[in-house]
Amino acid sequence: MIVLDSFAVLAFLKGEPAADLVEGMLSDPDGCTLSVLGVSEVVDHLVRLAGVDEEEAVLDLVELGLLAPAPLDADGGLRAGRLRAARYHRTTCAVSLADCVAADLARALDGWLATADPHLLDLCEMEGISWIALADSTGTTWAP
């Protein structure tokens, strides 16, 4: 299972450099998912920053098969909080709580996390979480 972070979904929807790779992941027979917070981030970005109609933003996620995210229970929330508390640093590892939820979900599913966020990729590397580095908006791909 591949866990996409919100950047991955937005890169696909906006036709950014990672779009082709994300498209392949979306058609992967093992499946893709987005965390509950990832759904929130995608909808927020599309509506607030890209000016997309709310219903259209939701329809985009439905069409991608991503509107049924893996549930976030109390244990997952605790693990993500602990992960951020252990690894967050404002300059060297500026990961959000949503990033940590996605990373923990990938670990819990014994899957992979797909992102272009270098801090999140650093966290995955440090934590032994399998990752897929995507090209960022400029076409640059993180390397350990």
Q: Which domains does the chain have, with CATH numbers?
A: 2-133 (3.40.50.1010)
Q: What is the pLDDT of residues 6-21, one digit of tens each?
A: 999 999 999 999 999 9
Sheet bearing 131-133, strands edge to edge: 32-34, 2-4, 112-115, 131-133
Alpha helices in 35-73 (DSSP H): 36-44, 54-63
The token pair at 111 is 């899957």
Tell me the whole-structure pTM to 2 decimals: 0.94
Reported as a single tens digit per residue, the pLDDT across 98-137 is 999 999 999 999 999 999 999 999 999 999 999 999 999 9
37 pairs with which residues across the strands?
A: none
